[in-house]
């Protein structure tokens, strides 16, 4: 583990204006934050804009970051709040655009049939996820895709850990029901 | 001639405006007697724009003095005025120009920092149209914008201290009074706030009491030493150190010698060097110890010199 | 997969729950495109600019926008009644929703659970307690030590006290009026018959409430709000006890409160006025600073 610098140390360096620290932080978190926002916003182009906004806020407010708290938590809190602001202000399309970039995620080892099937399955899960309420989808995204711990999610969303658990449970159970209704069997 | 005449007339008929260049806090013969003791005895001073430190031993009256200036307690005798505005005859105008941070303060635990600061903005008479913006401004300056949704109950002591500092800045005060403002802050934060106070002092009078002079010594414009109810010193720090020149001595003693002499010596520091004690002695006259030599006083030496001076008189 | 096991454990499901595992499998189908290299480097460039902006601005003195002091002075002007009303709004924020819901529910529940005359007795005895609780809660600053910061603000202690009393009286009167309404509804003759009966009912709780608030505030002039409310509460208890007790009744005409409410109302108001008039501009700090 020698040589792996902690997020908090990077943040401290960023407070001094260190650009190498900035590059390391972006290398670690650009993709994660982007994918988080993409799943929350459901739109590729706006995900790019919102991600940029998140990191700009981070840089502007970095001197206000207190190393007592985990950098990751702080970062995701900013991302979560920025997302919420965006979803409130913009006209958010309920349909799911962004399939034009499906090519990006094509696994070239798939046969055409496999690719289409994966497309279908992807569409299905996106659809049911969008049918979930924002608060439940958010917890699922943070837990399942961003791999954050329950305690971290509690801090980010400013809710008790118990509430995180119950939203996660409710969300997953609802997904199960919706998937069954949609396409029959599971498991 | 006509120009001079016009200027004079203009000065006469223009209402008294607060001009920043005229920033001056004046205390005139402030005395405070409590039932059991006298806390302050004929304290007079005048402070211009800049960063001023108030220091002294515990119980010297620093907090009492700050409370008097902030208009929280009334002195037994004496006057306080800021830019010509008297605290006693014009307390609204006076208090509208000050920000105060007490040594110990409580918060409403169920409020968030934003609500708490908004509450104080209202209490300071800040018009509703600018209050929200003011709150954001001071939260930004005090570096507490993140976690502003957390209730104060969950904030650490250091974070609450920052909320207190932010509160003091809400009304863009011409006089900023702070009682031990750095307590509870970690070294990085202390560094930030020391610089902040220094920057703020370019536009206003900043008076803060502190135990730890070293941190602010380089940035302070003047220092006041309060001891035994009086101002033992007021002026720039280098001048304060001048007073102790010739009163600080360095000696090396064996353990036996040290044990003999230690009750009669006033010492500012003691260092153990393999059984030999290197001692900095504070004394107006040369101590009777072989090999003792006079040295340049440090800030700490000066403080102890001034504080122990009256004991021997 | 470990991750699946963890999640299933967190939602209290068995790790062999096939259906849930299938759900999690489906979730993992939701792959998302990565940001392109171009996007990342464009982001970095923008951020570096922001960082550099940060640096230059931190060397300048923090800019505090100047404030209109004339407006502040007008707002706070100690002579005007309007200034006290402006102060009432922030003081209302001191009564939290939890407090309001709890205290009003207790009163309403009490009315609901009793009937007729008992309701009235509950209200007339409960109103002073509600008043004292609210008064104490409004003055929490003394408890928490926030009062020193509040004292450095331009509003005078008298204005602050006035605003807090308005909030206390306002809240308790509203709750008790609603309670009176509840009683009146079940007692329709009060409405149909003389309006005077309604006024008498209101006076029956208003007088003791104002009276005990007055005592509490008068005592607090010397001993602080804790002792003020405490002593008023004690007197309230004694009054109830003596009223029930024939022996006690001979000592103090405890029933007087019921028989001559206007007198006590006026005494209460006078005590409140006295409190405001004699409020010292000083918190007692007799210890050395």
pLDDT, tens digit (0-9, with 9 covering 90-100), for C103-143: 999 999 998 888 777 888 889 899 999 999 999 999 999 88
Determine contact: A124 vs chain C, CB below 8 A.
yes
- Residues A25, A71 within the same domain: yes
Weakest-pLDDT range from B38-47, B191-200, B209-218, C70-79: C70-79
pLDDT, tens digit (0-9, with 9 covering 90-100), for C14-33: 878 888 888 898 898 888 88
- Residues A15, A56 within the same domain: yes
* Chains sharing 3 or more CB pairs under 8 A with chain C: A, B
* Chains sharing 3 or more CB pairs under 8 A with chain B: A, C
- Residues A2, A81 within the same domain: yes
Instruction: Check pLDDT > 80 for residue A111.
Output: no
Instruction: Check pLDDT > 60 for residue C4.
Output: yes
The answer to whether the CB atoms of C282 and B62 lie below 8 A apart is no
Query: HEC states along A68-123?
Result: CCCHHHHHHHHHHHHHHHHHHHCCCCCCCCCHHHHHHHCCCCCCHHHHHHHHHHHH
Domain assignment of residue A141, given as a range: 106-181
Which of C54, C60, C64, C78 would best serve as a mutation to test chain B binding (most B beta carbons within 10 A)?
A: C64
Confidence at residue C211, expressed as pLDDT on a 0 to 100 scale: 93
Instruction: Check pLDDT > 90 for residue C53.
Output: no
The answer to whether B217 touches B194, Cβ cutoff 8 Å, is no
> Domain limits of chain C?
2-45, 78-278
Count the Cβ atoms, other than its own, within 10 Å of residue A69.
15
Burial label, B110 (beta-carbon count in 10 A; 0-12, 13-18, 19+):
middle
Weakest-pLDDT range from A83-87, B63-67, B122-126, C91-95: A83-87
User: For chain A, how many structural domains are there in total?
Assistant: 2
Reported as a pLDDT band with limits 50, 70 and 90, residue C288 is very low
Confidence at residue B212, expressed as pLDDT on a 0 to 100 scale: 81
Nearest CA in chain C to A161: C10
What contacts A45, CB < 8 A, 6 or more positions away?
none
- Residues A3, A88 within the same domain: yes
Task: Give the C window 149-168 contacts with B, CB below 8 Å.
Answer: 149-156
Confidence at residue B18, expressed as pLDDT on a 0 to 100 scale: 43
Nearest CA in chain C to B38: C288
- Residues A155, A177 within the same domain: yes
Q: What is the mean pLDDT of chain A?
A: 81
Determine contact: B149 vs chain A, CB below 8 A.
yes
Residue A2 to chain C, least CA–CA distance (Å)? 26
Determine contact: B195 vs chain A, CB below 8 A.
no
- Residues A87, A165 within the same domain: no
Which of C6, C21, C23 would best serve as a mutation to test chain A binding (most A beta carbons within 10 A)?
A: C23
Q: What is the mean pLDDT of chain B?
A: 86
Q: What is the CATH number of the domain that holds A44?
A: 1.10.1740.10
What is the number of CB-based contacts under 8 A between chain A and chain B? Answer: 21
Which of B114, B139, B140, B146 would best serve as a mutation to test chain A binding (most A beta carbons within 10 A)?
A: B146
The answer to whether the CB atoms of C144 and B34 lie below 8 A apart is no
Buried b (16+ CB within 10 A) or exposed e, C4-15: beebbebbebee
Confidence at residue C57, expressed as pLDDT on a 0 to 100 scale: 52
Instruction: Check pLDDT > 60 for residue B20.
Output: no
What contacts C276, CB < 8 A, 6 or more positions away?
C158, C161, C162, C165
Determine contact: B93 vs chain C, CB below 8 A.
yes
Count the Cβ atoms, other than its own, within 10 Å of residue A117.
13
Confidence at residue C204, expressed as pLDDT on a 0 to 100 scale: 87
- Residues A156, A117 within the same domain: yes
Instruction: Check pLDDT > 50 for residue B218.
Output: yes
Q: What percentage of chain A carries pLDDT values higher than 90?
A: 32
Nearest to B159 by CA among A76, A159, A68, C151: A68
Read off the tokens for C198.
């309604």
Q: What percentage of chain B carries pLDDT values higher than 90?
A: 49
Instruction: Check pLDDT > 70 for residue B8.
Output: no
Weakest-pLDDT range from A64-73, B112-121, C96-105: A64-73
The answer to whether residue A19 is domain-embedded is: yes
Confidence at residue B17, expressed as pLDDT on a 0 to 100 scale: 44
The answer to whether residue A186 is domain-embedded is: no
Task: Give the C window 26-85 contacts with A, CB below 8 Å.
Answer: 26-35, 39-40, 43-44, 46-48, 50-52, 54-55, 58
The answer to whether B32 touches B68, Cβ cutoff 8 Å, is yes
Q: What is the mean pLDDT of chain C?
A: 83
Nearest CA in chain B to A65: B146
Determine contact: B146 vs chain A, CB below 8 A.
yes
The answer to whether residue A3 is domain-embedded is: yes
- Residues A87, A19 within the same domain: yes
Q: What is the CATH number of the domain that holds A177?
A: 1.10.10.10
Read off the tokens for B286.
């040369």
Read off the pLDDT of each residue in B215-233 and give the average, rounded to a whole number.
90
**Cα end-to-end span (Å), chain B:** 60
- Residues A127, A50 within the same domain: no
Determine contact: B143 vs chain A, CB below 8 A.
yes
The answer to whether residue A2 is domain-embedded is: yes
CA dist., res. C20 & res. A120, Å (int): 20
The answer to whether A26 touches C47, Cβ cutoff 8 Å, is yes
Confidence at residue B313, expressed as pLDDT on a 0 to 100 scale: 42
pLDDT, tens digit (0-9, with 9 covering 90-100), for C203-242: 889 999 999 999 999 999 888 889 999 999 999 998 888 7
Its pTM stands at: 0.66
Determine contact: C288 vs chain B, CB below 8 A.
yes
pLDDT, tens digit (0-9, with 9 covering 90-100), for A122-144: 888 888 888 888 889 999 999 99
The answer to whether residue A97 is domain-embedded is: no
Determine contact: C287 vs chain A, CB below 8 A.
no
CA dist., res. A170 & res. B40, Å (int): 66
The answer to whether C132 touches C213, Cβ cutoff 8 Å, is yes
pLDDT, tens digit (0-9, with 9 covering 90-100), for B244-292: 988 999 988 888 888 888 888 889 888 887 778 888 999 988 888 888 8
pLDDT, tens digit (0-9, with 9 covering 90-100), for A13-59: 888 888 888 999 999 999 999 999 999 886 666 888 899 989 998 99
Which of B137, B142, B147 would best serve as a mutation to test chain A binding (most A beta carbons within 10 A)?
A: B147
Query: Domains plus CATH for chain B?
Result: 22-241 (3.40.50.300), 244-312 (no CATH)
The answer to whether A132 touches A175, Cβ cutoff 8 Å, is yes
Reported as a pLDDT band with limits 50, 70 and 90, residue C276 is confident
């Amino acid at each position: 583990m020698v040589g792996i610098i902690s997020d908090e140390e990077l943040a401290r360096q960023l407070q001094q204006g260190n650009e190498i620290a900035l590059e390391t932080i972006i290398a670690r978190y650009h993709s994660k934050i982007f994918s988080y926002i993409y799943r929350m916003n459901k739109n590729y182009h706006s995900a790019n804009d919102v991600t940029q906004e998140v990191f700009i806020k981070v840089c502007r407010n970095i001197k206000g970051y207190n190393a007592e708290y985990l950098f990751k938590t702080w970062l995701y809190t900013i991302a979560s709040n920025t997302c919420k602001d965006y979803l409130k202000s913009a006209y958010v399309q309920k349909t799911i655009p962004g399939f034009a970039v499906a090519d990006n995620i094509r696994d070239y080892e798939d046969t055409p049939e496999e690719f289409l099937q994966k497309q279908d399955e992807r569409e299905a899960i996106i659809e049911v996820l969008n049918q979930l309420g924002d608060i439940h989808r958010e917890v699922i995204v943070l837990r399942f895709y961003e791999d954050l711990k329950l305690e971290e999610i509690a801090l980010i969303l400013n809710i008790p850990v118990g509430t995180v658990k119950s939203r996660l449970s409710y969300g997953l159970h609802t997904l199960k029901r919706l998937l069954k209704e949609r396409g029959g069997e599971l498991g | 001639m006509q120009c001079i005449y016009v200027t004079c007339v203009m000065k006469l008929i223009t209402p008294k405006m607060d001009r920043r260049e005229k920033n001056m806090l004046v205390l005139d013969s402030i005395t405070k007697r409590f039932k059991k003791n006298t806390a302050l005895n004929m304290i007079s001073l005048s402070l211009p724009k800049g960063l001023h430190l108030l220091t002294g031993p515990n119980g010297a009256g620093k907090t009492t003095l700050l409370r008097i200036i902030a208009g929280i307690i009334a002195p037994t005798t004496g006057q306080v005025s800021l830019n010509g505005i008297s605290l006693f005859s014009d307390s609204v105008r006076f208090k509208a120009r000050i920000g105060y941070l007490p040594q110990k303060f409580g918060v409403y635990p169920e409020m968030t920092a934003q609500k708490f600061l908004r509450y104080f903005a209202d209490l300071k008479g800040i018009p509703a149209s600018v209050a929200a913006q003011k709150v954001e401004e001071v939260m930004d300056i005090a570096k507490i914008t993140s976690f502003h949704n957390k209730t104060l109950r969950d904030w650490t002591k250091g974070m609450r201290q920052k909320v207190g500092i932010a509160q003091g800045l809400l009304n863009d005060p011409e006089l900023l009074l702070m009682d031990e403002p750095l307590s509870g802050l970690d070294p990085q934060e202390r560094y930030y706030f020391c610089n902040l106070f220094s920057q703020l002092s370019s536009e206003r009078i900043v008076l803060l009491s502190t135990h730890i002079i070293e941190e602010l010594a380089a940035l302070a414009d003047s220092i006041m030493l309060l001891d035994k109810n009086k101002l033992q010193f007021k002026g720039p720090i280098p001048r304060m150190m001048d007073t102790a020149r010739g009163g600080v001595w360095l000696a090396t003693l064996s353990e036996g010698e040290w044990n003999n002499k230690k009750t009669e010596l006033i010492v500012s520091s003691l260092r153990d060097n393999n059984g030999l004690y290197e001692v900095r002695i504070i004394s107006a006259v040369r101590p009777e110890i072989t090999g003792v030599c006079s040295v340049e006083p440090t800030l700490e030496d000066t403080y102890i010199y001034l504080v122990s001076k009256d004991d021997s008189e | 997969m470990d991750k699946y096991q963890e999640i299933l454990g967190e939602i209290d499901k068995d790790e062999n729950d096939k259906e849930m595992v299938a759900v999690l499998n489906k979730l993992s189908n939701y792959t998302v495109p990565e940001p392109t290299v171009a996007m990342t480097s464009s982001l970095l460039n923008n951020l570096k600019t922001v960082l550099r902006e940060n640096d230059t601005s931190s060397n300048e003195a923090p800019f505090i926008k100047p404030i209109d002091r004339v407006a502040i002075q007008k707002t706070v002007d100690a002579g005007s009644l309007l200034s006290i009303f402006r102060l009432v709004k922030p003081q209302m924020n001191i009564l939290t929703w939890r407090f309001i819901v709890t205290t009003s529910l207790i009163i309403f529940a009490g009315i609901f659970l009793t009937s007729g005359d008992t309701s009235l007795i509950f209200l007339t005895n409960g109103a002073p307690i509600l008043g004292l609780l609210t008064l104490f809660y409004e003055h929490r600053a003394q408890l928490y030590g926030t009062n020193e910061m509040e004292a450095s603000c331009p509003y005078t202690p008298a204005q602050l006290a006035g605003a807090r009393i308005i909030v206390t009286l306002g809240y308790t009167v509203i709750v008790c009026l609603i309670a009176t309404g509840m009683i009146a509804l079940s007692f329709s003759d009060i409405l149909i018959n003389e309006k005077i009966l309604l006024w008498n009912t209101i006076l029956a709780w208003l007088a003791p409430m104002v009276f005990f608030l007055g005592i509490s505030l008068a005592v607090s002039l010397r001993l602080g709000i804790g002792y003020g409310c405490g002593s008023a509460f004690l007197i309230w208890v004694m009054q109830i006890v003596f009223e029930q007790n024939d022996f006690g009744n001979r000592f103090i005409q405890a029933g007087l409160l019921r028989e001559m409410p206007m007198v006590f109302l006026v005494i209460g108001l006078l005590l409140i006025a006295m409190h405001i008039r004699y409020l010292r501009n000083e918190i007692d700090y007799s210890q050395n600073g």
